[in-house]
Amino acid sequence: MVARLFIIAVLFCSCASTRTVQTSLYFGQSKLDGSVVTNNEWNQFVETHISKVFPDGCTIAETYGNWYDTAQHKIIAEPSKVVTAIFKYSSTQARQIDSLRYWYKQLYQQQSVLRVDYTVKAKLF
């Protein structure tokens, strides 16, 4: 009985360890004034903000997406960037990721930045 409790405790502790998370952020490139985020603006945002939040690296993909604008009541199609990173979860990291979303919206006239989080199994070196 004691051996079973010990095994259960070991399994519980190993499962309670910090989880590995994959976060994807969707950054639309169209501004409210009709212009788009330029490559220079994007590269500066990556250097100033994204690289600090994901110092171990991330993947940035160019894409094209659409979303329903509730203010205009229509589908908006626009070029976008998707930033994906895999990391050991921490509440500090989660707040930093939300700060990326906040600053991007403020700097580039965005209504939102979509964030999708998954718990994943990954070997990080």
Note if the pTM is more than 0.75: yes
What tens digit of pLDDT does each residue of 87-105 get?
A: 999 999 999 999 999 999 9
Q: What is the CATH number of domain 19-120?
A: 3.30.70.120
pLDDT at 124 over 70: no
Contacts 24+ apart (CB under 8 A), 52-61: 52/96, 53/93, 53/96, 53/97, 53/99, 53/100, 54/83, 54/85, 54/87, 56/85, 56/87, 56/124, 57/85, 58/83, 58/84, 58/85, 59/83, 59/84, 59/85, 60/84
